[in-house]
């Protein structure tokens, strides 16, 4: 695990984008394409802004997946992850990506959605995963206790209340009752299959989860703790999210 701490979100986002862009360029140089999965939480906004501005990336040769989506939320809902990823990243790229595989949480057959995404991931194995850590230690929507041995690339899950309250606290929904209770999420093994992971975690409200993930035991009660076992994971923190760490780089 490589850990870096920054004084503010903008510096954090720029550094994370620069590191991720380096992996993208190397993949493009080595095999002519690159495959990414991207998170869409508010904590990722500065990263996405900086990634768009990175030079010498041919986005027309890049395939993009996203981590998760609510089940039953309209595709154009402002809190929807498909909507946000298009608005904040896909539509702002200098050129359209080669492929974008949205997670359809409104499809009548979610098993088919998962199977289709699995086939796409087999064809486009992940080079870089841009992720974050939730207040409850989740990665994507793999809330505790997370399944570290899931066989499917995506899972239908029930969101725990801490996770749902995080979405409420970030201003995505007017009341807790409006926050969906189910979602589709990329599984932990699928995230861990990425050649490199760029983990972006600002804000004081994430400090406890960061401490547990980086300095606690490996446990599915803190899903992000599994990132410590990845051979090439880079975690980017700000002073607030790193404030509870006993060992700082």
Q: How many Å is the Cα radius of gyration of the chain? A: 17
The structural domains of the chain, ordered by start, are 2-238 (3.40.50.1360)
pTM for the model: 0.94
Q: In whole numbers, what is the pLDDT of the chain averaged over residues? A: 95
Gap between the Cα atoms of 79 and 184, Å rounded: 15
Is the per-residue pLDDT at 162 higher than 80? no
Collapsed DSSP state (helix, strand, coil) of residue 130: strand
* Beta strands 68-70 and 182-186, pairing class: antiparallel
pLDDT digits (tens, 9 = 90+) for 84-110: 899 999 999 999 999 999 999 999 999
What is the reported pLDDT for 169? 81
> pLDDT class for 166, splitting at 50, 70, 90?
confident
Q: Which two tokens mark 198?
A: 């760029």
- Residues with Cβ within 8 Å of residue 217, at least 6 apart in sequence: 225
- 219 φ, ψ to 5°? -155, 145
pLDDT for position 222: 98
Interatomic CA distance for residues 187 and 207, integer angstroms = 24
Higher pLDDT, 41 or 121: 121
Taking only the tens place, the pLDDT of each residue in 54-80 is: 999 999 999 999 999 999 888 888 888
Please tell me the total number of residues recorded for the chain in this structure: 249
Q: Sign of the C-alpha dihedral, residues 69, 195, 119, 65?
A: positive
């Amino acid at each position: 695990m490589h850990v870096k701490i920054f004084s503010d979100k903008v510096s954090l986002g720029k550094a994370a984008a620069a590191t991720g862009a380096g992996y993208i360029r190397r993949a493009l140089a080595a095999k002519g394409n690159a495959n990414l999965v991207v998170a869409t939480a508010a904590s990722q906004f500065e990263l996405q802004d900086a990634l768009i501005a990175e030079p010498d990336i041919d986005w027309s040769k890049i395939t993009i997946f996203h981590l998760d989506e609510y089940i039953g939320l309209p595709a154009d809902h402002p809190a929807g992850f498909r909507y946000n990823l298009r608005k904040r990243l896909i539509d702002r790229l200098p050129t359209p990506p080669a492929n974008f595989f949205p997670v359809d949480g409104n499809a009548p057959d979610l098993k088919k959605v998962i199977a289709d995404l699995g086939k796409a991931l087999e064809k486009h194995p992940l080079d870089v995963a841009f992720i974050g850590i939730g207040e409850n230690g989740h990665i994507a929507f793999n809330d505790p206790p997370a399944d570290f041995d899931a066989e499917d690339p995506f899972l239908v899950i029930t969101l725990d209340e801490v996770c749902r309250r995080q979405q409420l606290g970030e201003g995505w929904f007017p009341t807790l009752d409006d926050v969906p209770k189910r979602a589709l999420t990329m599984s932990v093994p699928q995230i861990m299959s990425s050649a490199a992971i760029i983990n972006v975690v600002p804000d004081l409200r994430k400090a406890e989860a960061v401490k547990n993930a980086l300095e606690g035991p490996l446990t599915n009660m803190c899903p992000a703790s599994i990132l410590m076992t990845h051979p090439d994971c880079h975690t980017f923190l700000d002073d607030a999210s790193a404030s509870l760490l006993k060992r700082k780089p």
